[in-house]
Chain A
């Protein structure tokens, strides 16, 4: 592996599912790279493909779902070319996942201890004692009091916040290089959410792992990610560093999302929130042009054709005809501070 190669390279990743009505293109041509220690935030609403994309990288999609990519390389390995046996070796070891619902992701019939040590013993030829030591250390590290007692308990005996901490500990058992966290705090109370986010950030800083953090919550993404990809209807519509995307959102969809937030500082208390009219389009069948077009105030005829990627800053990009036209005249549209 060359020293300049990123930990993870994703180029033109597409995921499509055959459904009775045709072919559903859930993810369309998504590209990004990720280095060690870096966090990529993927933000978007239900059905934008953000979870499908993480499952595709982890190789967790069922066989009838077609995953294609020009490049999907992790630690120098071509993930799409790897046999399932090798993928299984990577999962839980070099790459680990933290799911939204710890109650459904944890096995209710196994104790916390069994689930934690299972991963470790599967990937390392380690004895029970060593695995147990590691599990105790990590439970303590994720802030669980009296870890010895917890090892013998079942998931239902733990609160939601504790279960999520167990999930995090489980993901970290083999010191992975890549952590994919899919809405890891969405089911939790706000105070617990803040604590878990701080914990994840700290653990990542210590281990130097890369992280893909998937969330619908702009506030959460802004606090954890180094760079951001905003997804809409299966495609990235805007991407860049977190400071760029949150400081000066360029795509009409991103701008619309910000105006919908009650506490972004853009809308006065009690005043009407901005909203994005219409609903997410169907992703079934051939699609062309900009998928956001039917809901966009800046839509024009050119939006029906191939959509250019406008570069609005160093590494800051937006797939939008209007943004491209505006940046050609060197005046990027600014986010209006008043509600429409």
Chain B
């Protein structure tokens, strides 16, 4: 049994390489989507994962959900490789919540059918028991039980996302992979859904991997945060440390981009050079150096080692700031 705070999932040097076709007769080239991801996800906590589009965060989510296989490396769930678990067993213990509740819910199924589907898949043949569980889920989501026969089209975005959350939690999973769960929602609805996710986490001691591009949301909800850039984790720390004393220049640029409402300041100047990162054609040395505001000559040559201190790690030639 894993205790709260100890890693429930251990991601060990996971790589994922896609062979991208360059067009007819032009052959294929490798795209290194994940380049050695190592990350512990502590039980009962929220691990935030941030990074720009194309950095590999969704590829990692797919692999953790068993929807894709890593090219290399290994993933341990409760200290056993996930391959040791049957697909179904593993599937019931780790569940997804996706970004867009308009496309992730089958429009031709009722709320009952949508929420009970995972139970059916996992072999629950007792329809009365399934009904009870579905109703309990609706109750937990703060939705009236009369919506049980409704279709997604009859619901607002926030209600749909509650259905998606109910569907994820009905198998009583340990880990929930939340991939941009509130990005498609309005601010007022986002607040409702975030509050609900936090309440559920506390009530069931759930573990979340919370993927988002919204750093304000990640700061609010996460215990720890990992920052990805071009297929690697470039920095990881507890949320407090990462937002207060970021080490990696990329993290600093991300934090500078957060637009806290402030009528007395204009758009921020972000310490980041406007170079397009190309995962098919990685630069030598530190892959971030062409965009880095703090880069020195060595950065173009030397691949930086990861430096760790007191649970704060960063992959930068400059190392960690003095404690």
Which of A's residues lie within 8 Å of B, judged by CB? 45-46, 143, 145, 159-162, 189-195, 197-198, 200-201, 216-224, 241-243, 245-247, 256-265, 267, 269-270, 272-276, 279
Shortest Cβ distance from residue B250 to the other chain A in the assembled complex, whole angstroms: 9
Q: Which of chain A's residues have a CB closer than 8 A to the CB of B266?
A: 198, 201, 223-224
Say which one of B23-31, B77-85, B187-195 lies at the interface with A.
B187-195
- Which of B52, B186, B258, B270 is close to A263, meaning CB atoms less than 8 Å apart? B258
Q: Which of chain B's residues have a CB closer than 8 A to the CB of A221?
A: 261
How far is it, in angstroms, between the C-alpha of A145 and the C-alpha of B254 when the chains are bound? Answer: 23
Q: Judging by beta carbons under 8 Å apart, are B254 and A191 in contact? A: yes
Q: Is B132 an interface residue (CB 8 A)?
A: no
Q: Judging by beta carbons under 8 Å apart, are A189 and B213 in contact? A: yes
Q: Judging by beta carbons under 8 Å apart, are B274 and A275 in contact? A: no
List the A residue with the shortest CB-CB distance to B182. A262
Q: Which of chain A's residues have a CB closer than 8 A to the CB of B253?
A: 191
Q: Judging by beta carbons under 8 Å apart, are A246 and B263 in contact? A: yes
- Which of A223, A259, A267 is close to B267, meaning CB atoms less than 8 Å apart? A223
Q: Judging by beta carbons under 8 Å apart, are A262 and B219 in contact? A: yes
- Which of B158, B221, B260, B276 is close to A219, meaning CB atoms less than 8 Å apart? B260
How far is it, in angstroms, between the C-alpha of A107 and the C-alpha of B37 when the chains are bound? Answer: 39
Q: Which of chain A's residues have a CB closer than 8 A to the CB of B52?
A: 189-192
Q: Judging by beta carbons under 8 Å apart, are A198 and B192 in contact? A: no
**In the complex where A201-B266, A264-B260 touch, is A276 in contact with B217 (Cβ < 8 A)?**
no
Q: Judging by beta carbons under 8 Å apart, are B195 and A273 in contact? A: yes
Q: Which of chain B's residues have a CB closer than 8 A to the CB of A274?
A: 191
Q: Is B265 an interface residue (CB 8 A)?
A: yes
Q: Judging by beta carbons under 8 Å apart, are B186 and A262 in contact? A: no
List the B residue with the shortest CB-CB distance to A245. B263
Which of B's residues lie within 8 Å of A, judged by CB? 52-53, 156-158, 186-188, 190-192, 194-195, 198, 213-217, 219-221, 239-240, 253-254, 256-270, 272, 274, 276
How far is it, in angstroms, between the C-alpha of A194 and the C-alpha of B265 when the chains are bound? Answer: 13
Shortest Cβ distance from residue A101 to the other chain B in the assembled complex, whole angstroms: 14
- Which of B157, B188, B240, B263 is close to A257, meaning CB atoms less than 8 Å apart? B188
Shortest Cβ distance from residue A273 to the other chain B in the assembled complex, whole angstroms: 4
How far is it, in angstroms, between the C-alpha of A46 and the C-alpha of B188 when the chains are bound? Answer: 11
List the B residue with the shortest CB-CB distance to A244. B263
Q: Which of chain B's residues have a CB closer than 8 A to the CB of A241?
A: 263
Q: Which of chain B's residues have a CB closer than 8 A to the CB of A159?
A: 276
Q: Judging by beta carbons under 8 Å apart, are A143 and B274 in contact? A: yes
Q: Which of chain B's residues have a CB closer than 8 A to the CB of A259?
A: 191
List the A residue with the shortest CB-CB distance to B265. A223
Q: A220-B259, A262-B216, A273-B191 known; 20 other A-B pairs, CB under 8 Å?
A: A45-B187, A161-B276, A190-B52, A191-B52, A191-B253, A192-B52, A193-B259, A197-B267, A217-B259, A243-B264, A246-B262, A256-B188, A260-B188, A261-B187, A261-B261, A263-B216, A263-B258, A264-B260, A269-B240, A272-B198
Q: Judging by beta carbons under 8 Å apart, are B256 and A194 in contact? A: yes
Shortest Cβ distance from residue A48 to the other chain B in the assembled complex, whole angstroms: 9
What are 7 residue pairs bridging A and B, where the CB atoms are less than 8 Å apart in the complex?
A198-B269, A198-B270, A217-B259, A243-B263, A246-B261, A246-B263, A262-B221
How far is it, in angstroms, between the C-alpha of A45 and the C-alpha of B156 when the chains are bound? Answer: 13
How far is it, in angstroms, between the C-alpha of A241 and the C-alpha of B156 when the chains are bound? Answer: 33
Q: Which of chain B's residues have a CB closer than 8 A to the CB of A190?
A: 52, 213-215, 254, 257-258
Q: Judging by beta carbons under 8 Å apart, are B191 and A275 in contact? A: yes
Q: Judging by beta carbons under 8 Å apart, are B257 and A262 in contact? A: no
Q: Judging by beta carbons under 8 Å apart, are A194 and B257 in contact? A: yes
- Which of B53, B188, B190, B263 is close to A160, meaning CB atoms less than 8 Å apart? B53
**In the complex where A45-B187, A191-B270, A270-B220 touch, is A223 in contact with B156 (Cβ < 8 A)?**
no
Q: Judging by beta carbons under 8 Å apart, are B267 and A273 in contact? A: no
How far is it, in angstroms, between the C-alpha of A279 and the C-alpha of B198 when the chains are bound? Answer: 21
- Which of B213, B216, B259, B263 is close to A242, meaning CB atoms less than 8 Å apart? B263
Q: Which of chain B's residues have a CB closer than 8 A to the CB of A222?
A: 259, 261-263
How far is it, in angstroms, between the C-alpha of A273 and the C-alpha of B217 when the chains are bound? Answer: 11
Q: Judging by beta carbons under 8 Å apart, are A257 and B270 in contact? A: no
**In the complex where A260-B187, A269-B239 touch, is A194 in contact with B267 (Cβ < 8 A)?**
yes
